[in-house]
Each structure stands twice: as C-alpha cells, then as structure tokens.
C-alpha cells in the first residue's frame, strides 16, 4: 500500500487517466452536474471558467461504500487531488467490518490530514521557486520574464476545495465535512411523510461555532461575519489554499491569529444506523445550494430539493437521470428568476458549478414498463388551446398524479415551492385537476379523494378490444365540456371534440 501511494502522489498532478477509473462504481447512486454560468443582459448564459467540482462514488470490499462531492475554486487541482487521495486513504484496506464508530471517525480524520499534507508536498517545489523569485531584484530587461514565471507558479499552487464525504460501513452512515457543501438525509416514514435531516452545518462566516473557534485564536469574529468571506471564499475550513494556510498573517482579516485559522480538519457525524431506513442521501456542492437559495430564498431550500428528488424518483427509471433532472431544474429556476426581473433577480446574475449526488436507501425507482394502473406514474401535461374563429384564448393545464401501488408513499410536506403543475409526492389517492382560463371568464374544477375521474380497473393491464383499442385511463368528458363552454361553439363531445 505504501509503494502504491507513493506512485499515486507522484502522478496525481499529471493530466492522464485516473487510477480510480478501474474501481467498481456504486450502482445505487446517481450524479448530476452543471457548469458555472454568467448571464448577459439578454438572459443568455456563458461559462466563465472550466468546471472545478468533483465527485466520487465507489463500492469497496466488506460492504463499504464511499461517496464525496468536492467544490473546487481557483482551479480544479485540489478537488481532483482530494478525490483520488481520499479514495486511496479509505478504500485500500484501511476500513473493515470489525471497526467501531471511534475507529471509523479516527480513520476519516487521519485521511483528511494525509490528503492536506500530501497535496502541499506536490507543490513544495513550486512554492519554493515562487518564494525565491519574489526575493530577487532583477534588471528591468529580465523582470518581465520573472513576472510571467511568477504568474505561472501562482496558477500552479493556488486554489482549494471544500469537501463533503459520506461513508457507509456495517450499514452505518458516517459524514465527514470540510467547508460549505451540504448533506441531507431524507427518511420516508410509514405514513408517507418525508423527514429531512441536514447533517452538520456549513463551515462558513455565519456559523457561530466557527466564529467562536476563530475568536479563540485572537480574531475579530464580528469583523469576519461582516466581511462574509475569508480570502475570497465563504468557507472557514478548506483543503489546500496555501495563502490562508501559510501566509495568513499577510491577510488583513486573519493577521492577528495566534495559529493557523483556516483548517482542513473535518467535522464528523456518525455512525448512524441505516437499518430499516427507506429514503435517500443527498450530497450537494455549494454552487447547487446557492443557486436554489438565490432564486427562492434559503427558508425552504432543503425541503424543496428533497421534493424535487422525490418527484423525479417517481418518474425516472435511472438514478443518473434523477440527479441530472434535479440539477437541470435548479438551473432553469435560477435562470427564470433572473430573466423575470423580479425582486430576487439581482441575486441570480450568475451561479457556480453545481453537483448533486443521490444515494438511495431501499427506495424504489419508477418502473417504465408499468402502466398507471400497475403502479406507473402519469406526468403533468400542459396543453394550450386556441381557436382561430374566436377572439378568446384558452389555456388548459391538466395535472394527473397516480401514486405507486407499492407500500412506499412520499411525503407531502416538502412540495411547497415546486413549479406549478408538478405532481405533489405523497398524494394518497388519484387526483385530477382541470383549470381553464379565459380572457373573459375563469373557472376551475377539482376532484380528489375518490378518484372518480379514473376508470376503476384491476391490477392487470387492460386487454384490447376487437378494434385494437383499450379503455382510456382517464375520463376526459369534463375537459371537453369546459373547452366547448369556453369557446361557445355549441359542439359536444360527440360533435368532434372527443376521441372518436
């Protein structure tokens, strides 16, 4: 193991295939990503820098699973290094089923310490050259070359990353967090409610515990809180970033510190038993959470992201599609708020890289092969109608929710800010809502609870009749009556509006 790790450390900084590419991936996990974006006045977005996030999702031996989300900044070097080095420190025989909770916490802490020290070993020579060149007074004709070299060295050694790692061992969950990423555990209870638990608080400039830690080092915590950032970042703990680790006495807000103020020591939670737990685990980069909170405010961000995940789990057939759909949705919400010009638009002019990792815990995915009566889902449908012969325009939205026939039902308490027309997880009965809006009149009708708009059929799929058709899942007669009434054309269902 020692020989292997020496080879790893010597090669991590090179741009080639990662050694972790050959490790088995966890199949109970999905990852969604989106690059950073800056919006122009016309609402079009452009990427301002290469993606700096990273993630890992590996299955080890002895029932061990390792997941991580890495939020890099000023380059992806530290995030890439940490993802590979942490894997080497945790999945090469260091953990086994005989370890106690204290053993696991100790091994996790040691792993982060090794990653931090090993990273700085890889940039030792560059830091030494940078310090050496900075101390020389050179003739003017040579200073330009020196300045260019110093710029190259700065790019090579700068940057850092925040990290959220989840470890499952012996069916227990352990979380190790450094910085401002977020971890949520969602448990679904037997009554269909989703219990959302945020594991740990971000290590940021508004974290009271962190401010007390910094104050104990002689720093002005009120000033740090007011600044909102430390050397350009909101995190008070991070991996890498030599400026705040070695040159912190040159940074005004940190200059009074008695010892290193910004550390890479993880806050560890667990082990928490997962025995009998049904739900999912979410690891989110700071960019994803910030984009959602910028668009909708921070009050319900956790519940909103859980509701999005639950809704996608009910519709998608792969975890990769679930995670990517949620990220894409947050990205659209953020963009739509910006172009709307509403009050929060000023907070949404840009967003950073976004990463979402979902790990299910005995939580079923939708089955695309099932019909609605067999437990499949019906997605919301929005159908605009207009009649060229009439001055009225009618917009009809038909939202249908068919709960799964399985024993698991998602909770309803987290869907408060979903987009209009999105199925609410946890509906206890089939529901159909038909809304018709007219320039002169507005009417709506809703039926819920008894499922009267749905044909009552057995669990077996309907067989086609002699014409090759099957009975419809939904009775649309109410829809056609409203449509005909709004248009005032006197047509009935039998007059050509209904299915023939």
Record the tokens describing residue 335, joined without a space.
């963009």
- Tell how strand 350-351 and strand 267-273 pair up: unpaired
d(CA 312, CA 51) in angstroms, rounded, equals 25
Task: Give me the pLDDT at residue 322, please.
Answer: 97
d(CA 313, CA 368) in angstroms, rounded, equals 12
d(CA 63, CA 275) in angstroms, rounded, equals 14
Q: What are the E-state strand segments in 28-171?
A: 29-34, 37-39, 45-46, 53-59, 65-73, 160-169
Beta-carbon contacts of 362 under 8 Å, excluding residues fewer than 6 positions away, are: 277, 278, 279
Closest of 473, 465, 450 to residue 371, by C-alpha: 473
Closest of 171, 178, 153, 186 to residue 79, by C-alpha: 178
Neighbouring C-beta atoms of residue 438, cutoff 10 Å: 15
Q: What is the pLDDT of residues 270-295, one digit of tens each?
A: 899 999 999 999 999 999 999 999 99
Task: Give me the pLDDT at residue 245, please.
Answer: 95
User: Is 384 exposed, middle or buried (CB count within 10 Å of its CB: 0-12, 13-18, 19+)?
Assistant: exposed
For the chain, what is the radius of gyration of the CA atoms? 28
H-helix or E-strand containing 331? helix 319-340
Beta-carbon contacts of 36 under 8 Å, excluding residues fewer than 6 positions away, are: 47, 48, 49, 51, 52, 287, 350, 351, 352, 353
Neighbouring C-beta atoms of residue 199, cutoff 10 Å: 21
The reply to whether the predicted model has a pTM over 0.85 is no
Q: What angle do CA 241, 58, 15 make, to 5 degrees?
A: 50
Task: Give me the pLDDT at residue 482, please.
Answer: 75
Q: Phi/psi class of residue 230: alpha, beta or left (left: φ > 0; alpha: ψ in -120 to 50)?
A: beta
Q: What are the E-state strand segments in 274-333?
A: 279-284
d(CA 238, CA 35) in angstroms, rounded, equals 21
Task: Give me the pLDDT at residue 134, please.
Answer: 80
Q: What angle do CA 393, 395, 400 make, to 5 degrees?
A: 160
Q: What is the DSSP letter of 405?
A: S
DSSP 87-102: HHHHSSSS--TT--HH
Cα dihedral 447, 448, 452, 458, rounded to 10, equals 150
Closest of 223, 221, 199, 197 to residue 210, by C-alpha: 221
Q: What is the pLDDT of residues 34-68, one digit of tens each?
A: 999 999 999 999 999 999 999 999 999 888 999 99
Task: Give me the pLDDT at residue 16, please.
Answer: 52
Task: Give me the pLDDT at residue 104, please.
Answer: 97
- Phi, psi at 176, each rounded to 5°: -120, 120
CA distances from 374 to 19, 329, 367 (A): 44, 28, 10
Q: What is the pLDDT of residues 363-396, one digit of tens each?
A: 988 775 544 444 444 344 333 333 333 333 333 3
Neighbouring C-beta atoms of residue 470, cutoff 10 Å: 13
**Residue ranges in the chain whose pLDDT is less than 70:** 1-17, 137-142, 368-476, 479-480, 483, 486-500
CA distances from 20 to 31, 57, 196, 236, 359 (A): 17, 10, 32, 29, 19
Task: Give me the pLDDT at residue 446, please.
Answer: 34
């Amino acid at each position: 193991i020692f020989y292997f790790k020496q080879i790893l450390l010597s090669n991590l900084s090179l741009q080639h295939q990662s050694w972790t590419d050959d490790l088995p991936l966890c199949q109970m996990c999905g990852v969604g990503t989106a690059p950073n974006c800056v919006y122009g006045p016309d609402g079009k977005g452009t990427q301002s820098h290469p993606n700096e996030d990273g993630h890992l999702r590996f299955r080890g031996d002895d029932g061990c699973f390792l997941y991580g989300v890495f939020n890099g900044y000023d380059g992806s070097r530290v995030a890439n290094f940490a993802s590979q080095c942490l894997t080497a420190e945790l999945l090469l025989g260091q953990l086994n089923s005989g370890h106690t909770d204290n053993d696991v916490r100790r091994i996790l802490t040691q792993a982060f310490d090794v990653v931090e020290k090993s990273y700085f070993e890889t940039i030792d020579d560059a830091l030494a050259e940078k310090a050496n060149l900075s101390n020389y007074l050179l003739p003017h004709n040579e200073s330009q070359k020196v300045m260019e070299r110093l710029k190259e060295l700065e790019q090579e050694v700068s940057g850092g990353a925040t990290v959220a790692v989840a470890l499952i061992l012996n069916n227990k969950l352990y979380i190790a967090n450094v910085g401002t990423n977020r971890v949520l555990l969602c448990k679904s209870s037997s009554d269909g409610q989703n219990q959302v638990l945020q594991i740990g608080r971000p290590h940021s400039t508004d974290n009271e515990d962190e401010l007390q830690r910094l104050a104990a080092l002689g720093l002005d915590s009120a000033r740090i809180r007011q600044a909102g950032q430390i050397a350009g970042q909101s995190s008070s703990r991070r991996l890498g970033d030599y400026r705040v680790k070695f040159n912190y006495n040159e940074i005004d807000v940190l200059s009074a510190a008695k010892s290193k103020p910004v550390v890479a020591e993880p806050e560890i939670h667990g082990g928490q038993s997962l025995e009998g737990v049904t739900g999912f685990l979410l690891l989110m980069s700071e960019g994803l959470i910030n984009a959602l909170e910028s668009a909708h405010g921070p009050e319900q961000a956790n519940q909103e992201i859980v509701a999005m995940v639950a809704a996608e789990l009910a519709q998608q057939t792969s975890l990769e599609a679930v995670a990517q759909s949620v990220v894409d949705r947050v990205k659209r919400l953020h963009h739509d708020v910006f172009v709307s010009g509403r009050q929060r638009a000023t907070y949404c002019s840009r967003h950073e890289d976004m990463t979402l990792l979902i790990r299910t815990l005995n939580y079923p995915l939708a089955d695309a092969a099932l019909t609605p009566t067999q437990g499949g889902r019906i997605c919301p449908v929005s159908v605009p109608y207009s009649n060229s012969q009439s001055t009225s325009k009618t917009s009809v939205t038909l939202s249908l929710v068919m709960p799964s026939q399985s024993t698991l039902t998602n909770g309803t308490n987290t869907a408060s800010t979903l987009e209009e027309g999105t199925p609410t997880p946890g509906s206890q009965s089939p529901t159909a809502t038909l809304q018709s809006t007219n320039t002169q009149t507005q009417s709506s009708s809703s039926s819920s609870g008894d499922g009267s708009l749905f044909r009552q059929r057995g669990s077996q799929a309907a067989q086609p009749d002699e014409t090759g058709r099957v009975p419809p899942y939904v009775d649309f007669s109410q829809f056609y009556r409203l449509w005909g009434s709004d248009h005032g054309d006197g047509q009935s269902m039998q007059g050509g509006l209904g299915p023939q």
